[in-house]
Amino acid sequence: MPERIDKKLIAAGIVSGFLVLFYLFTLFDPFEPDFLYQMNGRIEEVKNDSIFVSGTIKSLDPGNSRQESKTIEFEVTPKTVFKTNALIITSEQLKSGGTFHPEVQQKPGFVSGLTENTVIQVWSKDDLFNVSKAIAVEIHYISYDLPTQ
């Protein structure tokens, strides 16, 4: 009788292991590449779920040094990740009138932080050299935390 229970437990463990692996593969595709292309530029227009960015694109492949300037429409999806480097400026720094170095903190960003003329970096899996519209996977921009008056 104990041999039969052990075989059932082993079989259940194997089946459970396969189910966990299947679940993880549906969440995270290990064969799907991370970012392939990056664009550094300035937002020309924000329209519905799209941002139009004018700047320089480059491949993140170490063997590819190609760069090109162009304007691309990036679609912002619910999966797009936003990050901001917030420059923290205190009232003492502003009052000093001299040179100062603000503290920089990386914080989660929001689509509402994107406005025209904002300088941003956009990462995409789409070949930005061959498209005029792409999906934004991750967007980084600079924001300012100024003291309230």
Pairing verdict, β 133-145 and 67-88: parallel
pLDDT tens digit string along 23-75? 555 444 454 445 589 999 999 999 888 999 999 998 888 888 889 999 999 99
* Whether pLDDT at 16 is above 70: no
The answer to whether the pTM exceeds 0.75 is no
State which amino acid sits at residue 133.
K
What are the CA-CA distances from residue 135 to residues 106, 121, 123, 125, 140 (Å)? 23, 13, 9, 8, 14
In the chain, the percentage of residues whose pLDDT exceeds 70 is: 76
pLDDT band per the 50, 70, 90 thresholds, residue 95:
confident
Give SS3 for 101: coil
- For the purposes of burial, counting CB atoms within 10 Å of the CB of 43, is it exposed (0-12), middle (13-18) or buried (19 or more)? buried
Among the ranges given (10-19, 80-89, 116-125), the one the predictor scored with the smallest mean pLDDT? 10-19
* Whether pLDDT at 20 is above 60: no
pLDDT at 4: 54
